[in-house]
Each structure stands twice: as C-alpha cells, then as structure tokens.
Amino acid sequence: MGVRFASHEALMRFTPPNDLLILIVLLFLTSGSAVGQNAGTAKEVWPAVKVNFELEQTLNLQVFVEAENGEEFPFIQWKTGALISYRMKRILKPREDEIDNENKYHLGVAVGYEYLQTTQNGQTKRENRIMLQSTPRHKLGAGFLVQDRNRVEFRWVNGVYDARYRNELTVDRTSRIGKLRLTPYAAGELFFDRNHHSWNQNQYAFGVQFPYKKRLMLDTYYLRQNCTTCSQDPLNVFGVTLNLYFRR
C-alpha cells in the first residue's frame, strides 16, 4: 500500500485467510472516517464517471468527468478529459471474470488530455494538462495483481507552465462472497513537482470495486492526501466512480 499459491477452486471460496485484505480495507475505511472529524482536516467528496470504448483488442479510449467538492468550505473543481491507451504483452493466464481488459496485459502505455476548472473563495483557476503514462502489471499468486503507474503531466495553470511526475502503486485481489464479486485494493501515490523542486504530495487510498457482468463497475474508496504546497492539507476524500465498458 507471504503470498501463497492456491488452486482455482480454493480462490473462488470466501475464506478468512484469503480475504484478509477485505478486513484491512474496512478497518482503514473506519479509521479514515474518524480522522476526517479532526479539526483542520479538509473533507471532500469526489463523484466521477469513466466511459471506456474498446476500439481494438489492444486499443482503448477512456473519457471521464469528475467533480471534487469540499464539504465545509467553498471549493469545487470540475475535471474532464480523455485517455487513449495501447496494451502490450498479454498475461498468459489472466484472472477469470476480469472486467477491465487493461488488467489482462503486462504493460500499457497511454497519452491523454485533461481540463480542470477550480472555483474557490470566488476565484476561478483553469488548468490544461497533457499526460503521458506507462503501467507495468504483474499477476501474483492467490489472485493478487500489482500495477505501477508512472505518469508525467505537462501543466498550464492559468497560463503558467509546470510539470509533474506521479508514481502510483496498486495491489488488488478479486474475491467472492456468495454470488457477490468484489475487488478490494490498496494504493499509494507520490508526486514530484518541477516548479517546487520537491516531492510535495502523497496520497494513499483503500477501496472496493463492485463489477457487474461485463458492462459496469462501481468503485468506492477512501483517500488521504498530504501536500506541503496545497491550500487544503491534509485532505480526506470519500469517492465513488462509475466505470462503463463498451466493447466491439
């Protein structure tokens, strides 16, 4: 944020040792709620929609829109954009019922554009971003998948140029509780800002994804952000993202 190998039948059963990650996620979600009540800690809600169009077997286009809204202060940010990704080196034996085809490949590279508009205390800030990223993935034993997203952002904030590097490590595992399929995960991300010449921001998140058939997935999470150059620090986020998938 010891791996053991198991048979397919064992992975499909819900057992306490195999689903320890679920309990960890729930504990952190609970502690995150308590932390959010402390004075001086900003709280936000981030709803988002991501729509994925599979143009070819190895080519995907994602368009997205997200709102970031402060619960106790006048802050709202709208974010929209698109990301086109190319998948390389297919995993020989991907996890069964994998709804996101990106997770079936060892490596994905992508390029995208993002526009942000932030309104705070009556002032509006606009930002344009061009994004380049690569994401190596590796399937571990017992159904775990680890991925390491590396992203470079070229940013123009109210016309002022900046650049940023982001590295995010995510570990997840798909489980079943009866007929319910869910994927708990943990993630951590570090930010290096060109203009500040420092690793000025970090985030960690704990969440659960709920896939439905092959068409949609609901992602619910808690995120904690620490930032030495942000107006709100620290920041607690409760987010929900609806992911839609359209395939040929």
Q: Report domain extents, the chain.
A: 8-246
- Check pLDDT > 60 for residue 30: no
Round the average pLDDT of the chain to a whole number and report it: 84
**Whole-Å CA distances, 235 to 6, 53, 247:** 39, 32, 37
What is the per-residue pLDDT for 9? 39
pLDDT score of 75: 78
Which pTM value belongs to this model? 0.80
Q: Which tokens hold the place of 246?
A: 């359209």
What is the Cα–Cα distance from 117 to 244, expressed in whole angstroms? 24
Quote the pLDDT of residue 79.
96
The answer to whether 108 touches 86, Cβ cutoff 8 Å, is yes
- Token pair, residue 15, equals 């057992």
φ, ψ for residue 57 (rounded to 5)? -60, -35
- If one compares 247 and 132, the residue with the highest pLDDT of the two is 132
User: Are residues 90 and 63 in contact, defined by beta-carbon separation less than 8 angstroms?
Assistant: no
Q: Which of 1, 18, 50 is nearest to 174 (CA)?
A: 18
Q: Over range 78-104, report the average pLDDT.
A: 93
- pLDDT value at position 41? 72
Q: Which helix or strand (DSSP H or E) is residue 29 part of?
A: helix 20-35
Quick check: 98 pLDDT over 60? yes
Q: At residue 16, does pLDDT exceed 70? A: no
Give the pLDDT mean for 103-121: 94
pLDDT of res. 22: 47
> What is d(CA 188, CA 203) in angstroms, rounded to the nearest whole number?
6
Give the position of tokens 């001086």.
Answer: 40
Element housing 11 (H / E) = helix 8-12
49 pLDDT band, cuts 50/70/90, is very high
Q: How confident is the model at residue 120 (pLDDT cuts 50, 70, 90)?
A: confident
**Is the model more confident about 74 or about 141?**
141
Domain at 8-246, CATH from 3.10.350, 1.10.3470, 1.20.1070, 2.40.160: 2.40.160
Of 160-164, 198-202, 226-230, which gets the smallest average pLDDT? 226-230
pLDDT above 90: residue 2: no
DSSP 63-97: EEEEEEEESSSSEEEEEEEEEEEEEEEE-SSPPTT
Higher pLDDT, 224 or 39: 224
Phi (first) and psi of residue 22, to 5 degrees: -60, -45
Pair 70, 76: CB distance under 8 Å: yes
Distance of alpha carbon 243 from its chain centroid, rounded? 11
User: What local confidence, expressed as pLDDT, does residue 72 receive?
Assistant: 58
Per-residue pLDDT reduced to its tens digit, 151-190: 999 999 999 999 999 999 999 999 888 888 899 999 999 9
3-state SS class at 132: strand
Q: What are the start-end ranges of the E strands in the chain?
A: 42-56, 59-70, 75-90, 105-120, 123-139, 144-157, 160-173, 175-177, 180-193, 198-212, 216-227, 235-246
What was the pLDDT predicted at 7?
Answer: 39
pLDDT band at 14 (very low <50, low <70, confident <90, very high): very low
pLDDT at 213: 86
Least confident span in 6-15, 31-40, 101-110, 219-228: 6-15
